[in-house]
């Protein structure tokens, strides 16, 4: 009987304790929700109650202290922590919390004193320094945190972890030279940390004086210097546009690694993408000359030739009046053009059946089509790719450019065949197919097949994100609003074809007939007159173009191209006549007269640039 009673009492005690624990846990969760909801007074009341019940529970202690801090009850927080310290005087976390409370209360001196004394009082341990430093960081006392981390680093067996934190703090406090020293320490101890160190340094390198300070440290670093420093320094030189110095570092790397030009080809390709053609060709040439058995020889030869070609295009583009609506490209560099073509032909000879050969044919074709205007040769080059390199990444472009060459040559049937094949070929991307449909629509437009052209344009317009959509919308708008005037629309299509064939004089005469004919539908009249003004600019008849453009602007209620005309008039003054004052007036007039024009941003930029001049 006695045993049964004892058992019942034990069950009652256990059940009661479980119930108490269940209740306090629920209260704790409720208090946490109050903290998150900024109901700090309610949270404090709950935490005081449950902490009193279980003073040994660290979660309850910590939550109560949080509530005190949120309510700015700093005196109560100090009392709570000090009482805890009486029981566990060697708990470094409590000293950290106590210092934080004093810091939040505005007593910075007392906070630092508490942190300092705790580190002196307790047995030297690098973990203690890290804990106190974290409290200082949390209170944004970065200089004090740096002090603690430096002390901890001195007594730590593995100082690299302190270097990570110190580097971050030096970066935050704009001490870039010291940050670079810590990152260099990390790299010196572990070359495998190169990518991490590089990414961290590059994240702050655009700050004032950061790059020069970092280069100084990395360049002069001697202790445990490894090949990672050459990689890092080369990258920093590149960022600082000191590419010749970067090249010296990459040559050092090549000498140590004997990678047969691997780092040099990466560097040269970067230079090429950054339009630094002269140095790129120099680096490619070093690979060709010094690493004859390198697996990168073919890439180097292609890169070298592409650098020469890019340099040629750069010169050609400088002579192009790109501000004009239309222009002819003049070949002012015939000798250099032939040198580039010869270099590509040598590539074809050496790598005819490879992708290098396909690219060489494409580059020659583009030069023949655009610079030399040698249509027969260009078509032959593109045909070679289509026939002999069916898997080449240049196949789509070869089809497109051959089609455009046929249009310019007046062979619309052959052009139509190329673009039609593009829309059906599975190897062609959707974007290129969309561009092909636009060109098919244009050919139908030129041939007077307006309904067929409209159907094709609808297919292009379906994808609003496609690059061809805007051009398709413009042509579609023209067709939909002027179909009833099919006679003049057909003449306009003829003029548009002449423009695409660079026959500007014939287009000029035809456009004038269209817009001066009283029977022409007014929308088509507006389009034709603006296009006529554009051709006047193209033919350098600038005085006459200003008169035509002024007429269009004056008739802004009827002419939908009035804003375009005003913007073009500004360009004529700016680039054609070098009259910046009148150019600014035109651009300002555009902002006032047509505030919703798509040219507003460009006009605003032009005004700023001209006024700065």
> With helix as H, strand as E and coil as C, how does 68-107 read?
HHHCCCHHHHHHHHHHHHHHCCCCHHHHHHHHHHHHHCCC
Cα distances from 241 to residues 16, 112, 200, 247, 280, in angstroms, run 76, 45, 20, 11, 13
Contact between residue 405 and residue 382 where contact means Cβ atoms under 8 Å apart? yes
3-state secondary structure of 207: coil
Contacts of 100 (CB under 8 A, 6+ apart): 111, 135, 138, 139
**What is the C-alpha separation between 406 and 417, in angstroms, rounded?**
10
Q: Where are the alpha helices (DSSP H) in 368-466?
A: 375-388, 395-409, 412-424, 430-446, 450-461
**What is the C-alpha separation between 142 and 139, in angstroms, rounded?**
8
pLDDT at 424 over 50: yes
> How high is the mean pLDDT of the chain?
90
Provide the pLDDT for residue 156: 84
Phi, psi of 235, rounded to the nearest 5 degrees: -65, -40
From 87, 93, 102, select the one nearest 56 (Cα to Cα): 87
In percent, the amount of the chain with pLDDT more than 70 equals: 96
> Which DSSP state fits 368?
I
Contact between residue 355 and residue 391 where contact means Cβ atoms under 8 Å apart? no
Provide the pLDDT for residue 318: 87
How many residues would you count in the chain?
613
Sign of CA dihedral 597, 602, 605, 609: negative
SS3 content of the chain, % helix, strand, coil (to 5): 80, 0, 20
- Taking residue 89's Cβ as centre, other Cβ atoms within 10 Å add up to 12
pLDDT at 428 over 70: yes
pLDDT at 328 over 90: no
Provide the pLDDT for residue 55: 87
pLDDT at 595 over 80: yes
Q: Which runs of E-coded beta strand occur in 251-327?
A: none
Taking the alpha carbons at both ends of the chain, their separation in whole angstroms is: 108
**What is the C-alpha separation between 252 and 405, in angstroms, rounded?**
48
Provide the pLDDT for residue 21: 52
Contact between residue 364 and residue 345 where contact means Cβ atoms under 8 Å apart? yes
Contact between residue 226 and residue 191 where contact means Cβ atoms under 8 Å apart? yes
**What is the C-alpha separation between 139 and 114, in angstroms, rounded?**
14
3-state secondary structure of 354: coil
The mean per-residue pLDDT over the stretch 77-92 comes to: 90
**What is the C-alpha separation between 323 and 325, in angstroms, rounded?**
7
pLDDT at 3 over 70: no
Q: Where are the alpha helices (DSSP H) in 291-389?
A: 297-318, 334-351, 355-367, 375-388
pLDDT tens digits, 341-359: 999 999 999 888 889 999 9
Which is more confidently placed, 124 or 543? 543
């Amino acid at each position: 009987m006695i045993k049964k009673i004892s058992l019942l009492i034990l069950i009652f005690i256990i059940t009661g304790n479980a119930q108490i624990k269940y209740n306090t846990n629920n209260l704790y969760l409720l208090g946490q929700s109050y903290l998150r909801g900024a109901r700090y007074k309610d949270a404090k009341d709950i935490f005081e109650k449950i902490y009193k019940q279980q003073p040994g529970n660290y979660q309850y202690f910590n939550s109560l202290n949080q509530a005190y801090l949120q309510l700015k009850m700093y005196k109560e927080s100090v009392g709570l922590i000090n009482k805890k310290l009486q029981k566990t005087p060697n708990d470094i976390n409590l000293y950290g919390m106590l210092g934080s409370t004093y810091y939040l209360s505005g007593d910075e001196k007392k906070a630092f004193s508490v942190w300092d004394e705790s580190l002196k009082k307790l047995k030297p341990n690098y973990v203690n320094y890290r804990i106190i430093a974290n409290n200082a960081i949390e209170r944004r006392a970065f200089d004090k945190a740096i002090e603690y981390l430096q002390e901890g680093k001195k007594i730590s067996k593995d100082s690299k972890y302190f270097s990570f934190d110190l580097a971050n703090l030096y970066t935050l406090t704009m001490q870039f030279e010291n940050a670079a020293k810590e990152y260099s320490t990390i790299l010196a101890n572990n070359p495998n940390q190169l990518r991490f160190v590089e990414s961290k340094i590059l994240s702050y390198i655009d700050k004032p004086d950061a790059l020069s300070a970092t280069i100084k440290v990395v360049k002069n670093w001697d202790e445990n210097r490894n090949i990672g420093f050459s990689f890092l320094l080369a990258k920093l030189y590149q960022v600082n546009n000191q590419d010749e110095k970067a090249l010296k570092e990459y040559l050092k790397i090549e000498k140590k690694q004997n990678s047969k030009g691997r780092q040099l080809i990466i560097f040269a390709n970067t230079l090429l993408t950054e339009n630094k053609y002269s140095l790129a060709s120099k680096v490619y040439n070093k690979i060709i000359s010094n690493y004859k058995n390198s697996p990168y020889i073919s890439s180097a030869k292609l890169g070298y030739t592409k650098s020469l070609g890019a340099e040629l295009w750069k010169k050609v583009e400088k002579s192009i009046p790109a501000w004009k609506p239309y222009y002819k490209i003049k070949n002012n560099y015939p000798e250099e053009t032939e040198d580039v073509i010869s270099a590509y032909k040598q590539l074809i000879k050496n790598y005819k059946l490879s992708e290098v050969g396909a690219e060489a044919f494409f580059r020659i074709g583009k030069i023949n089509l655009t610079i030399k205007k040698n249509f027969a040769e260009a078509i032959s080059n593109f045909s070679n790719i289509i026939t002999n390199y069916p898997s080449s990444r240049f196949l789509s472009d070869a089809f497109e450019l051959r089609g455009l060459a046929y249009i310019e040559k007046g062979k619309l049937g052959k052009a139509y065949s190329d673009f039609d094949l593009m829309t059906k070929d599975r190897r062609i991307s959707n974007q290129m197919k969309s561009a092909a449909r636009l060109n098919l629509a244009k050919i139908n437009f030129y041939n007077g097949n307006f309904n067929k052209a409209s159907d094709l344009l609808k297919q292009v317009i379906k994808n609003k994100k496609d690059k061809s959509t805007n051009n398709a919308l413009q042509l579609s708008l023209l067709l939909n609003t002027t179909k009833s005037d099919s006679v003049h629309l057909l003449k306009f299509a003829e003029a548009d074809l002449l423009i695409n064939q660079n026959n500007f004089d014939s287009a000029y005469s035809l456009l004038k007939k269209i817009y001066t004919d009283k029977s022409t539908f007014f929308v088509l009249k507006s389009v034709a007159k603006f296009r006529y003004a554009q051709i006047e600019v193209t033919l350098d008849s600038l005085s006459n173009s200003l008169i035509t453009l002024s007429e269009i602007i004056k008739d802004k209620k009827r002419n939908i191209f009035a804003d375009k005309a005003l913007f073009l008039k500004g360009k004529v003054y700016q680039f054609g006549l070098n009259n910046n004052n009148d150019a600014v007036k035109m651009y300002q007039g555009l902002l006032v007269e047509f505030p919703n024009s798509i040219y507003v941003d460009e006009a605003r930029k032009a005004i700023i640039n001209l006024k700065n001049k």
